[in-house]
Structures are given as C-alpha cells and as structure tokens.
Structure 1
C-alpha cells in the first residue's frame, strides 16, 4: 500500500545513473506462482520491455511488458527452451532527459506504438515495424529464469520502488530532491502535496501512485521543453546548443531512431536562441544538416560543453549547428526530415 512507501525509510544510495542488465539466474522473485522468464526492475525508472525467442525457422518478438520500479513481471511463460533469447527495453516517456535504452547489438523488428507479437522479418519497414538492437540472454533452466534491470548502485526492490516515486515526482514538477530511494521528510511532503492536489486518498497503493504520477509526468512533458524527432528512414545522432547564463552551452548526444523522439530540455524554454546539430547515418556514410552555419563545440562521447570558442584547443571538434524557430508557449518540437540533410559525403 501507499502508506508503506510514505512512511518507510530505506538506506540512501548514489543517484548517478548508469543503466545495465544484471546477470540472469534461476528465478527467486517473491510471489512468482507462474514459471517462466521473469524480468525484475531494480531501477528508478518505469520500463517497457520486449523479449524474443527462436521458434520454428524464425525469431518471435513480443512487447511491451511494463515494469514499475521495484516490480517483477513474467515476460515469457514456461516451460522455457534453454538457449539464447533476446531482450530490449526502454524507459517510459514520462521521464525527463530522453529515453534510456537497455539493449545490445542484435537487430530485431518491433512495433514502437503498442503491444505486439510478430515473427521478425528481414526488412522491418515492409511490415510497418522498426529495428531495435536487442541483447542476447542465455537461459539455462527450463522452468524458471530471472533477468534484472539495474542502475550503477543497485537498489533492492523496496529501494527501487521508493526511488521510482521520487523520480516521477520530479518528472511531474513536484519534487527537486535526490533520487536515492530514501523516503525522508522532503519526499513525504512532496507525496502529501501530490495526493492533496489530485484529491487522492492516503491509502492509495504504491502501484496506483506510480501509475498516476507517470500519466501526469507524461502530460507535463508534452507542454514544456525542447523535443527532437526523427522523421527520416535512418538513425540520427543529435545535439543542441543554447544560451546558458552569460555564455553558451552545447550538449549531446541523443540517438534518434527512425520515427523516434527525445525530449532534450526538460524545463520551460526561454525566448533565447536554440540551435540543433544532426548527423544522419546513410548506408555507411554521413549526411549533415543543410543551412547549418553557427559553430559550437562537440565531443566524441556524451558531453556538456560551456563556451563555443577554441574548440580544438580544448580537445573538442567544431560542428555547425542550425538555428531553430522560436519557442512558443515555452516549448518547441523540432523535426528532422530527409530534405533537411545534404547528400551523403563520399
């Protein structure tokens, strides 16, 4: 019940997020009455997972299994067929900073818009599907197997549930404390404020609280910030630049799959200028944006760089960014189309 999170305090853990899949083993999840492949979410994010298995001469892919923070769900009923299976997962669109991805390097087709079960074809687009890179998972037991999603410092199930509430409170604009799995006075006050504002009873269950928070955070995210969307057939690596204090900041990278979007600024936009950078992968070659004339600094890995001069002297490279239209009502949706890119470089 909600009161268990509201009143319980658990040990604090580091909030820095580096997401991974924990090693798999025989299932030990509490209350698991049904045997099969179980997925456990030990992160502070709401996760949507897709699994795949060999069947006949092909690979059957199914999704999406929704996992609240701290919960375990059966993704594939037993008896299991020992051998390689596949797993891909994404965080809910309610969370700020773009979607987190748990995957690997084995491409399979998925339906990104809703629940699906399909035998993965060679060409995803022929069936209106999109390619995602799955991670192989070796299942060695016919009756039960568990795979856990974790963060850098692993939460147990109770800590993950508490941290999940904290994160969703922050995503909904109600909480600005640490995402540490510790329900202290500040978190309790934020939960109480949320319940009062939404006329919810104190007996609201943990799962219902997470569900309502997720919906409100999703609605809020649609109304603020900067969102980048890929309307091309290829993958795009994107970055942004904007005024930051008295200077300039460039920040990246966000990988945009075909048809995918990422909310890259999670706060109301100011009237100041914003700029975008994008490189499209096209059959092993790179295509850059047309009409990109404003130089900012870029790095090879994920970056946040203050200033825009002497990039080379600071071991960065310089890239040309394109100015966006002005924000309207504190938000901006920027879409990349095929026509926005130059022909591939030889």
Structure 2
C-alpha cells in the first residue's frame, strides 16, 4: 500500500528538458562548456547529479541555482549515448514544504552537505538517504542545457524577480502576488529590509536572494509543525488538525530514515494536532500504533475536510495519535521504531 503512493505523490513543479541553448534563457551558460542547469522557477533549486564512471554511477551534490540563474554542473567533454542523472529539491527557505524534481532511478545522497559517492548498495548503512533521480539524455559532447520550470511560467529574466517576490514572503518581509514584476511598493520594502538588517543598500539581486534565503531559513525554525523519522526505514506520514470550525487530514509525506519535514509552515493554533504513519519493510507492512482519534486517509496524496463518514466518501479510516499543544506556534513530533507494529495483509488472513 505504501509503495503504491510513490508514483502518485507528484511535485507541484513541472520538470522540462530542453536541448541545446535557448536564446536568453541560457545566455549565462554559454560562457562555459558543459552541462548547464537553468532555473526558470521562482524557487532556489539544490541539485545532485549522477554520471557513469566505469561500472559505477558517481553521485555528487549539491549545486545551488538561484531563480533566473544558469549554472554549469558538469564540465565538457560530455558523453552521448550514456545517461546522466539529476535530482533537485527546493531550498528549506520556501514555505509549503520542500518540493523536488524526481525520476525512476534511486541513488544515495547526503541530505546535509556536500558529497560525492559511488552508488553504494545500502544507503542507510552509509548514513545516506535514498532519492529518485531523473535520467537525462545528452546529445552534444560540448554543451547541453536542462531547464527547470514550474506551472506558472515566465521568461528567464523574470524568474529572478519572481524568486525575490517569493522569498520576501518566505522571510516575512512582504506578502504579495508572485508575477515576476517588482513594483515601487516592493522596492520600498526591499530598501527597508536592507536598512533594518544593516545590509548594503546597493546589494545586487543575487545578493538580495542570498540574504532573504538565510532570513527565511532562520524564521522557519521558529514556527510551524515539523515531523521527524527516527526509525531505520522510510515512512509515509499524515497529519490531522482543526481547520476553522471543522477538521482536516492531509498526507502523504515521504521521510527517509533520520530526516525531518516541515509539514505546516505557519504559526500553529494552541490546540493538539494529530499524526499517523506507515512503513514498508522486507517482512511486511507496519503502521503507527496507539492512535485512537479517527481521521480519513487515502491511498494517494490527499487533503480531506472532515473526519466523519470516511467510508461513505470512499476513504479509509485510521487511528491518529494526539500530539502535545504547540508552544509559541511551534511543534515537533518524532516517530520511533517502537511506535510501529506489523499488520496482517488480506493474503495472510486467507
């Protein structure tokens, strides 16, 4: 049941591959030869790449690419006819949870810092995490460009402005529309921000993005709901909470062993929240035990309003565990191996 969700949990960012250079979109990448990644999204992208070396695949990361920026991730000469691999994630600065560009090929990464590994067979045994990479076909030995886009598209030059707009909201400086055009009010908010932070008034847009990212990351540590996987397996987690006068359940978040995910990125109300999780192991399926508060869940990604009549609405029902009350708008919940027990499958019941 858990593994079936993997193909259904789609990132909100669309992934596109564009061959060769595309006018101004890749102009900054033309200064050097190699494999370039151009980021036309409004989010900071962190990239890991893979290349075949003899009989192994070497995975390296992380390459940080600002909105509107192109970056060489691998120098020429490139190989044609041999696939390269790419995994991308968004910066922790962005609200709404970390999003990713994924594919069908699983390799090991170090989620915490710079790394280079030769695809070990057991990621967890090496203290690494498993991530799903996209295969990239390169058809030119000299230069090749992969472009990242999201559903809302804008030219490369406007992506930088859209990124600044998004980060201003992430950092709590100014909330507004994200359209790739910065007006007078936003420029005034930027000047005020730089002055209050004792930063240079003549900071470039690239420097502004870097400043805002750090403020947003620091801000995110002090609010919201974070869940952590302290088990030795990957888990799939869901949450329940009050929404207005009613209830909401939402899932799934895939958490590798010993990783955390911020599932709500705003101040929390002073009331208990609820959690549920499942895991697949070689011996079978495990579920979180001890939950007595019933919420609706679905096999695929879901956001369900209400917690009554789950089956009548073609949902399943699961027992969620009540958390502590958040303190100062912040809540952290950790899952441990002892919290899970095996459940019998239908085949085992027969």
**TM over 0.5: same fold?**
yes
Q: Where in structure 2 are the equivalents of 1:110-259 lying within 5 Å?
A: 110-259=109-258
Deviation at 1:43, TM superposition (A): 0.6
Give the structure 2 partner of residue 311 of structure 1.
310
1:1-346 equivalences in 2 (<5 Å): 18-28=12-22, 29-31=26-28, 32-82=30-80, 83-283=82-282, 285-346=284-345
Q: Unmatched 5+ residue regions in structure 1?
A: 1-16
Residues 250 and 23 (structure 1), Cα distance of their counterparts in 2 relative to 1, 3 Å cut: same
Gaps of 5+ in 2: 1-10, 346-350
Q: TM-score, normalised by structure 1?
A: 0.91
CA offset at residue 55 of structure 1? 0.8
RMSD: 1.7
What SS does the aligned partner of 2:173 have? coil
For the Cα contact (< 8 Å) 1:287–1:345, is it kept in 2? no
How many residues are paired up? 330
Deviates more, 1:17-26 or 1:111-120: 17-26
Determine if contact 2:224/2:329 at 8 Å carries over to the other structure: yes
Give me the whole-angstrom Cα distance separating, in 1, the residues matched to 2:220 and 2:272: 21
Contact 2:12 2:99 in 1 (8 A): no
SS of the residue corresponding to residue 43 of structure 1 reads coil
Q: CA deviation at 1:344?
A: 4.8
The separation in 2 between residues aligned to 1:345 and 1:158, in whole angstroms, is 55
8 Å CA contact 1:27–1:38 kept in 2: the answer is no
Q: 1:268 aligns to what SS in structure 2?
A: coil
User: Which has the higher mean CA deviation after the structures are superposed, 110-119 or 190-199?
Assistant: 190-199
Over 3 Å counting, the alpha-carbon distance change for 1:182 and 1:316 in structure 2 is farther
Of stretches 300-309 and 185-194 in structure 1, the one that deviates more from structure 2 is 185-194
What secondary structure sits across from 1:20 in the alignment?
A: coil
CA contact (8 A) 2:284 2:342 kept: no
Query: Does the 8 Å CA contact 2:124/2:257 hold for their aligned counterparts?
Result: no
Cα–Cα, structure 1 residues 30 and 281, in superposed 2: closer, same or farther, change >3 Å?
same
Q: CA deviation at 1:278?
A: 0.9
Q: Distance in 2 between matches of 1:41 and 1:286?
A: 39
After TM superposition, give the deviation of residue 185 of structure 1 in Å: 4.1
Decide whether the 8 Å contact of 2:97 with 2:265 is kept in 1: no
Which residue in 1 is equivalent to 2:3?
A: none
